[in-house]
Amino acid sequence: MKKYKKILITGMAILASTTASLETISAINVYASNDTRTVKKLSPNSDYPNIKSKFDVTNMTQYSDDDLFGAVTLNKFYVKSVGADPMKQYHVLLTPTKHSSQYFLLVTKSKKKIRLHDKLTAQVALNGSSKINDAQINSGISESYSGKHVILTMPDKIAVYHK
């Protein structure tokens, strides 16, 4: 039920403003990520199917924001850049493969440290798309990703696998 509440909150926020910016979406992520649980192991299930079974993760730009909703598992995605904000939340830029240029943004608190080049599995609600902006850069995401297309996510559970 928690994931549907998050999706409803997200949908209401987007409907309230057709020009929803990444800052607005990030504020929702900040609110929603307080419930994120860090676990030792995580795998896709019927509530959170593997994203690769629903989308072509090598080319997510082909999907409209209307398509980019629903609960999925990002299974062992690579941490390409990571930062933290003053609220002690990680801002994590993920890719499905080591050399992919398809990015996913996850904002969460984690009991386990998240480092560059770690692998991360997350059960998330997809939240549309945007571009990396100054707010994300200021949180610690590398400047080299500024302006890059990114898929927004709201995590329910994460598992971090250190290299």
The answer to whether the predicted template modeling score (pTM) of the entire model surpasses 0.85 is no
The number of distinct structural domains making up the chain is 1
Sign of CA dihedral 24, 28, 34, 37: negative
Q: What is the pLDDT of residues 32-88, one digit of tens each?
A: 445 577 777 888 889 999 999 999 999 999 999 999 999 999 999 999 999 998 888
Task: Judge contact between 131 and 22, C-beta under 8 A.
Answer: yes
Exposed/middle/buried for 26, CB within 10 Å: 0-12, 13-18, 19+? buried
CATH number for 58: 2.40.50
> Any residues with CB less than 8 A from the CB of 8 and at least 6 apart, and which?
none
The residue range of the domain holding 61 is 2-161
Residue 27 pLDDT more than 90? no
